[in-house]
Amino acid sequence: GENVEQHPSTLSVQEGDSAVIKCTYSDSASNYFPWYKQELGKRPQLIIDIRSNVGEKKDQRIAVTLNKTAKHFSLHITETQPEDSAVYFCAASREYKLSFGAGTTVTVRA
């Protein structure tokens, strides 16, 4: 089955700096890569996604890049704000089955 590895497990950044989270996947048939943000006690919220036929996608302060050859994808958050503090999960999907990374706890220091 699909195996998704996510790094780092924790990330502390100064407000205004950038944050980068990286994920690798094992199944070359995976074709959809969403990112979820989960605040404490809340549901995972889809923040951005990318399909295998696209190399990069941006939405305001967040962007995702995908390298199919190397089987890795990354989340970039620019100009971080305190409300960006949360756990972020990457996932790889094949036929509606999401395989998640272990999560990255992001803390934005004021």
Partner 1 sequence: KAGVTQTPRYLIKTRGQQVTLSCSPISGHRSVSWYQQTPGQGLQFLFEYFSETQRNKGNFPGRFSGRQFSNSRSEMNVSTLELGDSALYLCASSSRTGGIEQYFGPGTRLTVT
103 binds partner 1 (CB under 8 A): yes
Of the residues 69, 70, 96, 110, which one makes contact with partner 1 according to CB under 8 A = 96
How many residues in total does the chain contain? 110
Beta-carbon count within 10 A of 100 CB: 17
Return the range that interacts with partner 1 (CB under 8 A); candidates 12-20, 28-36, 53-61, 78-86. 28-36
93-96: long-range contacts at Cβ-Cβ below 8 A with a sequence spacing of 24 or more?
93/30, 93/31, 93/32, 93/33, 93/34, 94/2, 94/27, 94/29, 94/30, 94/31, 94/32
Question: Judged by CB, which is closer to partner 1: 17, or 39?
Answer: 39
Nearest CB to partner 1, comparing residues 44 and 62: 44
Taking Cα atoms as reference points, which of 104, 105, 101, 103 lies closest to residue 24? 101
Contact between 100 and partner 1 (CB under 8 A)? Answer: yes
Q: Which of 27, 68, 98, 107 binds partner 1 (CB under 8 A)?
A: 98
Q: Which is nearer to partner 1, 83 or 95 (CB)?
A: 95
Task: Name the residues that contact partner 1, by CB under 8 A.
Answer: 1, 32, 34, 36, 42-46, 49, 89, 91, 93, 95-103
